[in-house]
Amino acid sequence: MKFRIPLAQPEITDADREAVQAVLRTTTLSTGPKVEEFEQALCAYLGSPFAVTVNSGTSALQLAVEILTLAPGSEVILPSFAFAAPLNVLLHCDLKPVFVDIEADSFNTKTEKIESAITNRTSAILAIHTFGRPLDITAICAIAKRRGVSVIEDACEALGAEIRGRKAGTFGDVGVLAFYPNKQITTGEGGVLLSARQDLDRHARRLRNQGRDSSLDWYQHVEAGYSYRLSDINCALGISQLRRIEAILERRQWLARIYDKRLKALPEILRPSLESTHGRISWFCYVVQLARNFSRQDRDQVCRSLQQQGIGCGRYFATLHRQPVMSQASMRFDLPVTDFVADRVLALPFYNQMTEAEVEEVVAALGNAIAELRRNS
């Protein structure tokens, strides 16, 4: 469905188009110089010693699990309020997800819940900076070190977020980011795996490229790998977009402030905080909650009303522990905050080119939807 104001859309400039066209004028479309250039640019911006680009954030997560050699059947702790990619990766790698509850205001995992969930079967914590809002990753890494488990830091929604002046994605044993078209910057499809260890970097590079070792002949495969490469075309777009990342983050922060100001007129809407106690927010999307007296059915009706008015919206996220793929799981999870929040969240349109007038139109449409809901109740 095409909306007058979409939920999200990529920002592609003339400079972006020229960067891609420049690659198309060459004969090197894959495994060429733009891949290395993008990886080096990411390392410089994020402060990470190593970066391995891949074809998606999901692929980066899978490589993270494999290079950390997590024992099959072991448990990985993560929030249920998240996109499906982490769950899919864990299930494919024969790992058991252990879901823990979140904070209602930040949508992030509660640190104390993580520690209490660690057992002798735990191999890793999958820490997610939800919606680009930084979680207390330093405390989580301290817990992991004390308890002898790994940390996979999922910053797929948090490019440019900071904790104590350090970029999200660089705290865990490995970190992952993604560049899907709804993200702060895009490569069309793509992701990156970050690490501070050369052995992990080399292992990820082998797995990314069919198990090939760069020190051997091209047709020598030292282990079973994948075709997870990111093309020079994608990387050229990423290089161009990364050059303006700080302007993008400032623009999205500005949009969040405009939303916050306009939504004060709607007491039925709970607005996200503009600040985080843990550091700098990188606004991936703008997600509000309906007040406590509303139900999931009310939220769904509001979403339908917005769509009928030509406004895109999203019901982020459907909880992972209640997904059909988990119906045969032996473990059951009591996650009251997660369930409560998931029934009432609503993602509003949010993208780099959005204008103040469009924000005002979205808020007006949201007010109409709530008024309609009141009339019909």
Residues comprising the chain, all counted: 377
5 domain-assigned = no
Q: Which two tokens stand for residue 363?
A: 């808020």
29 & 169 share domain: yes
Q: Counting Cβ atoms within 10 Å, is residue 296 exposed (0-12), middle (13-18) or buried (19+)?
A: middle
Looking at the fold, whether 158 and 211 belong to one and the same domain comes out as yes
Domain shared by 80 and 228, yes or no: yes
Residues 298, 269: contact at Cβ < 8 Å?
no
Instruction: Answer whether residue 214 is part of any domain.
Output: yes
- Residues 6 or more apart whose Cβ sits within 8 Å of residue 80: 99, 100, 102, 319, 320, 321, 322, 333, 335, 338
Task: Indicate whether 186 and 273 sit together in one domain.
Answer: no
CB 81 within 8 A of CB 100: no
Total-model pTM: 0.96
The residue range of the domain holding 312 is 245-376
* Domain shared by 220 and 182, yes or no: yes
- CATH number of the domain where residue 283 is located: 3.90.1150.10
Residue 4 belongs to a domain: no
Name the domain boundary from 242, 266, 293: 242
Q: Strand, helix or coil at 173?
A: coil
Query: Are 153 and 91 members of one domain?
Result: yes
Per-residue pLDDT of the chain (377 residues; tens, 9 = 90+): 689 999 999 999 999 999 999 999 999 999 999 999 999 999 999 999 999 999 999 999 999 999 999 999 999 999 999 999 999 999 999 999 999 999 999 999 989 999 999 999 999 999 999 999 999 999 999 999 999 999 999 999 999 999 999 999 999 999 999 999 999 999 999 999 999 999 999 999 999 999 998 777 778 888 999 999 999 999 999 999 999 999 999 999 999 999 999 999 999 999 999 999 999 999 999 999 999 999 999 999 999 999 999 999 999 989 999 999 998 777 789 999 999 999 999 999 999 999 999 999 999 999 999 999 988 87
Q: In 10 A of CB 49, how many CB atoms? A: 13
61 and 201 inside one domain: yes
Other CB atoms closer than 10 Å to residue 297's CB: what's the count? 10
Q: CA 310 to CA 367: how far, in whole Å?
A: 14
Report the domain count for the chain. 2
| Domain presence at residue 6 | no
Do 227 and 347 lie in one domain? The reply is no
Q: Assess if residue 7 is contained within a domain.
A: no
**36-42 long-range contacts, CB within 8 A, separation 24+:** 37/235, 37/239, 38/187, 38/230, 38/235, 38/236, 38/238, 38/239, 38/242, 39/192, 41/238, 41/239, 41/242, 42/192, 42/194, 42/242
207, 242, 277: which is the final residue of a domain? 242
CA distance 195 to 211: 19
Pair (255, 329) in one structural domain: yes
Whether residues 180 and 212 share a domain: the answer is yes
Q: Which of 210, 242, 274 is the last residue of a domain?
A: 242
Kindly state whether residues 98 and 210 are assigned to the same domain. yes
User: Both 47 and 196 in a single domain?
Assistant: yes
Distance between CA atoms of 204 and 106, rounded to whole angstroms?
32
